[in-house]
Chains A and B, each alone.
Chain A
């Protein structure tokens, strides 16, 4: 399973139950990455994709019970640790901005994660978004 997470410069994901940021060009890139695969996310995350309405979207608050090893999962408010334990690939989008956070991904990543590729692109409202794909 490929786990997708958006983080700020310090690994932050959410503050007060709300995503730190969003960007329509990031969403477009994420959908390209997950094309041809089932893409799981929570109801909260799916609302962010209401304009794009992707065909491969599946909504669940407990996706681990249903997903296959080829699937993708975009995690914002979903319990992170079980997903991290099951993921064999990790796609990180970094905003390169500082936001408040009360839910974070612990950085640096465990040594078991090996960086496969890194790219940078401009978002619609973010100067520079960094995309990193890891595998283990």
Chain B
């Protein structure tokens, strides 16, 4: 019994350290931020050749919805549904302004579509499961992630279901690094049921970024990206420090980064020296710990 408790404690610590969700009911582990390339101006990247990972038993024609309980920081977990015509809304969406997801900030930038940097971002879009002000389904998401990243995938699923009457297994997992209050991004997975994925099949990671804005994911505070970059450069140009190198991906990490902890020992190397030297040798800073 004691051994089991130790094992469970270890799993919990791993989940907290890596920012990954562990879902006991499905036995599934989610995208590891250490494997996600830095945001490079595209709203999403494909994971695992677009193949989602759903339990065989869930391929059923009975619709369902599951929303994870908020964690100890009040953050959302995985939202999972078998979307069908019967889960879709029959009336217009109501107000969701009363929900304040973790990291919520009301901040405007003139160049952001609609001005507001953050949206209350549905994990499973209203058009799919008609969830209105469900706090287990709303995260702090940038306008860019909401509209350019997530919405096209929601549209694809919604229109497929409306046209065919078929079901789509659909799972959205917010990926938080460590104890950050704002998710780094979301993993979106979907697969159509009746035609075994011929109609819909994807597995992507959508970045919770906003071009032109630098975000502090620990709190949700933000500033213009140019100012942030200039200040970073001044502050780190000649400093020597210890970094953890991934000799395979050619990325370098802060020693406390979860990406460094999760790295294969075969690819890991401890480095003491300047950041500039590493960059001149072709290494890139980790996009999460931003060393």
Contacts and interface: CB of A to CB of B under 8 A. Distances in A.
Contacts, number: 43
Contacts of A95: 159
A21 B159 contact: yes
Given A16-B201, A100-B44, A23 B163 contact: yes
Q: How large is the interface on A (under 10, 10 to 19, 20 to 34, 35 or more residues)?
A: 10 to 19
Interface stretch (B150-158, B207-215, B234-242, B246-254): B150-158
A21 B202 contact: no
A28 to B, nearest CB: 13
Nearest to A95: B159
A95 B160 CA distance: 13
Interface residues of B, number: 19
Nearest to B199: A18
Contacts of B202: 15-16, 100
A9 B156 CA distance: 13
A136 interface: no
Interface string A100-136: 1000000000000000000000001110000000000
Interface in A66-97: 95, 97
B159 A126 contact: yes
Given A15-B202, A16-B201, A21 B160 contact: yes
B277 interface: no
A126 B160 CA distance: 11
Contacts of A126: 159
A97 B200 CA distance: 17
Contact of A124 (B155, B163, B200): B163
B163 A99 contact: no
Contacts of B29: none
Interface of B: 44, 46, 50, 151-153, 155-156, 159-160, 162-164, 198-202, 204
8 contacts: A16-B50, A16-B201, A18-B198, A18-B200, A22-B160, A22-B164, A95-B159, A97-B159
